[in-house]
Structures are given as C-alpha cells and as structure tokens.
Structure 1
Amino acid sequence: MPSSLAIRAAPWLFVIGMIIVWQGAVEVFAIPQFVLPPPTAVVGAIIQFRDAIWFESLFTLGTTMVGFLMAVAFGLALGLFIGWSRTIYAGLYPLMIGFNAIPKVAVVPILVLWFGIGAVPAVITAFLISFFPIVVNVATGLATIEPELEDVLKALGASKLDIMRKVGIPRALPYFFGSLKVAITLAFVGSVISESIASNHGIGNLMLQAQAQFNVPLVFAGLVILAVEGIAMYAVMAWLEKRMTGWAHRSTGFAAT
C-alpha cells in the first residue's frame, strides 16, 4: 500500500509533470503563443495583471459563493420535501430532470432582461446550475429507506416525522455533503458563463476582454485562477464532508485489511 506521504505528494508531482510536459511541448514543436502559451508566459501574465486578476477573482468568488449558499438552502429544503413521500418523489423528479436539461447559458439572456447586467445574473446562474445535485442527493438519501425498516419503526409507534428525523435525515447526510463537492464546482461554471455574457466584472469578463485583444496568456491565466479557486473550495467541501459524515465512511486502516 502507498504511504500517506506518497499519496499527499502525488497531486503536486502530477501537476509539476504536466507543467514540464506543457513547457517542453511548446518549445519542441514551436507552438505560437497565440495558439498555446507556455506556462512561463501564463505566470508572466498573472504577475503583470495581478491587480486586475485579484479584483476580478474576488468578484467571481463572491458571486459564486452567494449563489452556492442559496443553492444549499433551497436544495436542502426541496430535497427534504421531495424525499418526504414516494408519491412526491415520483411526481416532481421528472420535472427536476427536465429543468436541469435546459442549458443554463440559454437562461442568462432572460436574467439580463429581468435584472440587468451585473452580479445578480451571475449569482442566479450559479444557483440554478448548482442546486440540482443537492436536491437529487438529499431526495435520494431519504427515498432509499427500506420499506421493511419503515414498517418496523411504524409498528414500534414511530410517526413519519420520527422516521425522517431519526433515520432518513441522518442517512441523507452523506449524500448531502457529498453533493456539495459537485455543486461548488458547478457554481463556478455558472458564474463564469454569466460573467462572459452579462457582466462588466469577474474572471469570465476578464477572459472575454483578453480574448478580444488576442492576449492568450491572460486567457490561460484566468483559467488557472478559476482552477485554483475551484480546487480550494472543493477541498473545503471535502473537509466538511469528512468532518460531518466521517462515521459513514470506513477508515483507511479498516479498508486496507
């Protein structure tokens, strides 16, 4: 079994290896910078435009987190409602699938008509694109209670509320916290999509302006910043999942035996 040190070092080694391969491929094949800038040019763009990148990245992070927190609150409430009854689950789940199938980029122009250009469409787009995984996972966690277990609990005098509160919700917690890791990355996608179409700020708008000026290193710099923010927030959600639902996962030592 690999050591814990090797496991922790693996992501960094893969990233360093990818950067080396990227830099080498650009130099060996003489790829023009406007097609694929080398990592050194991307780092140079980050340093050169650090003030603008810092401001716009904070704007994107802010709109993403507001939309994500809205998705958590709404998704948890709706997931509990849908998972409360198999009849409600069967009735609303197809509607949820249909809503999620609508490309969110097609909704942005409507949001611009309603709220104008700015942060509000970005927040709502982040919310719309990230709440679905939360709803589905919470509802699934509640809907997977075995009918036999429900029958036994009812025979012991437990009400529907007691079953949901003492069995259903604890069972749904691993699903809920696991869905946060997916939802936060999708929230960044929603924010950047809206910023590219209907905002004067944000990393999406910065990348759009850089593209119009054929400043490809700055475009890649924006991608790198988004990746860093996404990884950081994913790590936070993974920490929350481990912290809140560690009881639901086997330990490493147990799994290895």
Structure 2
Amino acid sequence: MPWLFLAGLLIVWELACIVFDIPEIILPRPTRVFAVFVARFDILMAYCFDTLWTTVVGLPAGRSPAGFLLGLAIGASPFIYSGLYPLLIAFNAIPKVALVPILMIWVGVGSLPAVITAFVISFFPIVVNVATGLATIEPEMRDVLRSLGASRTEILTKVGIPRAMPYLFASLKVAITLAFIGSVIAETVGGNNGIGFLMLSASARNDAPTTFAGLFAIAIMGVLMYAVCAMVEKRMTRWAFRGEIVS
C-alpha cells in the first residue's frame, strides 16, 4: 500500500504540473526530479553521507545512553522529576533554529553545530518516553516485589528497565527523524557541507529540481534509519508484544 500510494501521488503531481503548466522553478515534475537525482547521484550521495554522519554519530554514543539514563533518573525519582522535568520542557520549547547561531559562535562553522543540533532536537523524546515507561509500573507490582524482598534497585533493573524498552525504541524511531531535521536546519543556517547546504545552494540558483532531489534523499535516509531501528526493536522487545509485532 505505501508503494501504491506513493505511485499515485507522483502521478497526480506529474499530471498537475503538465495540465496547469506549472513553471519548473516553482514545482518541478517528478520525472525531472528523478532525472536530476540520477544525473547528480554521486554529488547527492557525498552530501547525504555528511548529513547521515552528523545525524547518526551521536545516536549510539551519546543521544540514546544520555536520554535513557536521564529518563531512568526522572522516572525513578520524584525529587528529580519535580526539579528537572519542568526545565526540560522549557528548553524543548526553544526553537532549535535559534540555537544554531549560538553554536556557531561557540564551536565554529562545520559539522559540529549540526551534530549538537541533532542531539538537542532528538534528546527530549527519549527522556520523556523512558520516564513514561517507568511510570507505567503498576503500584500492585511494586508492592508484590517489595513483599518478596526486592529493593528499589532490583525493581528498577528487573522490571523498570525492561518495561521502558518498548518506550525507548518508540522514542528512538521519532528521534531519528527529528535528528535529520536538526542536522538539515544547522546545515542550511550555517553549514558548509551536508544535504541542507546543497539544497540552500541550489535554491539560491533557482535550481528547484536539485532542491527537490535533496528532499527526496532526506526522506529516503529517514525511512531507512526508521527501518533499521524497527528491526532492532523487533529483536530486543519481541516479548513486549502479543500476536502481531509493531514495526
């Protein structure tokens, strides 16, 4: 069904451009975008690799562990929840595009502002979902475990963390797409590489087909990263789903 829907959308797009004679500078036809995508495939892949690197580099090494640990702390401690959670909400409300100029002053122009922006924009969903996973532990289960002699640490490690794993992967699938948004924002505002920089340069030349080809490249990377995360989720949280496994 996704492929059929995509094919129908592209056909409608193509026919609308032909029937209404829409200028290419405003909305290029899908066939023209595809031709540019093929003709400039090597260039697109080089810029896509830069964006993919800045998006993924912080995920296993920083974003996931940091968000997971902070989510555990917030979900396990009412004191930390009441003191830190409102601050996280306030920070998440700040438009991330406003942080890019500040990051450029602090760390300079290049890939590092994009990495930090991707980290910041995708950090909050992981923290919230992990904390929510811990909060879903039934009070009755806590009472039973305490009556069996389990400590707070044992309840957290044997019940809380496994309970939070499905929430973690659900947030990771959201965080991956948000991380691409953060990387592209940083590249368009103050980057000198990446697909966002390529799209900005193409739009400055009124090269709409290349700009749309960059959009398609970002969408493809996002779908592939989502699929990878879904595959890992199936293997690590198979026990959490009965019957059909959510992907």
For the residue of structure 2 that corresponds to 1:210, the secondary structure is helix
Instruction: Report the Cα offset of residue 11 of structure 1.
Output: 1.0
Which of 221, 227, 237 is residue 213 of structure 2 equivalent to? 221
Unpaired segments of 5 or more residues in structure 1? 1-9
Code of the aligned partner of 2:11: I
Which of 138, 149, 152 is residue 141 of structure 2 equivalent to? 149
Instruction: Report the Cα offset of residue 147 of structure 1.
Output: 2.3
Instruction: Report the Cα offset of residue 152 of structure 1.
Output: 2.2
Tell me the alpha carbon deviations over residues 170-221 of structure 1, each in whole angstroms, 9 at most, x when there is no partner: 1111101111100000000000000001111000000000000000000000
- The answer to whether residue 244 in structure 2 is matched with residue 252 in structure 1 is yes
Q: How does 1:170-209 map to 2 (within 5 A)?
A: 170-209=162-201
For the residue of structure 1 that corresponds to 2:21, the secondary structure is coil
Unpaired segments of 5 or more residues in structure 2? none
Which of 19, 22, 25 is residue 34 of structure 1 equivalent to? 25
Specify the alignment match of 1:7 in structure 2: none
Answer with 21-30 or 141-150: which moved more. 141-150
Q: Which consecutive segments of 4 or more residues in structure 1 shift more than 6 A? A: none
Partners in 1 of 2:185 and 2:67 — Cα distance? 21
For the residue of structure 1 that corresponds to 2:89, the secondary structure is helix
Answer with 41-50 or 135-144: which moved more. 41-50
Tell me the alpha carbon deviations over residues 222-254 of structure 1, each in whole angstroms, 9 at most, x when there is no partner: 00000000000011111111221121112139x
Specify the alignment match of 1:3 in structure 2: none
Specify the alignment match of 1:16 in structure 2: 7
CA contact (8 A) 1:59 1:201 kept: yes
Q: Percent of counterpart pairs with the same letter? A: 59
Which of 120, 126, 129 is residue 112 of structure 2 equivalent to? 120
Task: Tell me the TM-score normalized by structure 2.
Answer: 0.96
Partners in 1 of 2:195 and 2:218 — Cα distance? 8
CA contact (8 A) 1:86 1:143 kept: no
Task: Tell me the TM-score normalized by structure 1.
Answer: 0.92
Instruction: Report the Cα offset of residue 96 of structure 1.
Output: 1.1
Aligned residues: 245
Q: How does 1:135-146 map to 2 (within 5 A)?
A: 135-146=127-138
